[in-house]
Amino acid sequence: MKKIHKVAITGGTHGNELTGVYLINKFKKNPSLVKREHFETFFMHTNIGAMKQCTRYVDKDLNRTFTIAGLNDPSLGSYEDKLAKEINQKIGPKGSQNPNIDFIVDLHSTTSKMGLSLCISTNDKLTWQVAGYLKECMPEVNIFKWEGDTDDIAFVSSIPPSGFTIEVGSIPQGVLRADMFFETEKMIQHVLDFFELYNTDKLKKTYTNIEVYENSKMIDFPRGEDGYINAMVHPTLQENGYFKLTKGSPLFVTLDGEEIFFQNDETLYALFINEAAYYEKGVAMCLAKKKTIQI
């Protein structure tokens, strides 16, 4: 069994998601909090430029910038493209059989009421073992299996072969929320505990079946010919995450109060509902299938 030598915790990929920003600040001041005997914990802010402006990004979304093609394209000169190449050299390089980091946890928050969530975009077995352990330690954690927007995964968490994103919410952009801060820290501690057990052959079990929400599709708001939104997320969904949708469930309501209903025959679950950062991406919510996967 290959031992883990270095685990990365990253925050500030989106500069207005403050949970990760301030957890990294805390670890910088108190590195003993994330120190373990049998591996090294590396932590860093990923987008300091966006953090200083308290914006999601400077030029473009850093968390959509880590494709192999983009990392190898010297003509891409935006702030985030250059930054991605620097981060890739520190954590990767992506695609290497011997990256500088063995496992990564990238910290995010969402304006959607998602509670405590893992977003996983890999079939890597180690990643899923960590997820299973974390789910056992904290049953309230939900797992979203998201392959990303393209075949070449562009997330920060895709740089090494193993790792995932932590998403917590609901938290407004640019706001630090204490309960979510401490719950995220608890999740990190469990992840680090896993690797201490893993490296010392003290794990009591392996995880073979894990319940996930697997991404099915993303849907936009209804829009008029002028491109403007002409319907809003229905109030029954607004303060929910992983909301069960069956045929006839209210989905949107127009500006005039007319309800629009879910028409699929297949039961799906809505998440990232009305996420503020996804307006520019043309996404009102993600729809997922609930299933148990075998590891």
What CATH number corresponds to the domain at position 147?
A: 3.40.630.10
pLDDT the model gives residue 146: 86
Residues 194, 168, single domain; the answer is yes
Q: Which of 191, 207, 223 is the last residue of a domain?
A: 207
Q: For the chain, which ranges sit under pLDDT 70? A: 1, 148-151
* CA distances for 264 relative to 215, 232, 289, angstroms: 15, 19, 12
pLDDT the model gives residue 168: 98
Q: At 283, which CATH number?
A: 2.20.25.160
CB 65 within 8 A of CB 80: yes
Report d(CA 222, CA 79) in Å as an integer.
33
Residues 130, 154, single domain; the answer is yes
pTM summary value: 0.95
Q: Which of 207, 228, 263 is the last residue of a domain?
A: 207
Question: What angle (nearest 5°) sits at the alpha carbon of residue 122, between those of residues 120 and 219?
Answer: 55
* CA distances for 174 relative to 17, 84, 129, 170, angstroms: 6, 23, 33, 12
* Residue 60 resides in a domain: yes
Residues 163, 256, single domain; the answer is no
pLDDT the model gives residue 151: 58
pLDDT the model gives residue 43: 97
pLDDT the model gives residue 148: 54
pLDDT the model gives residue 153: 87
pLDDT the model gives residue 38: 97
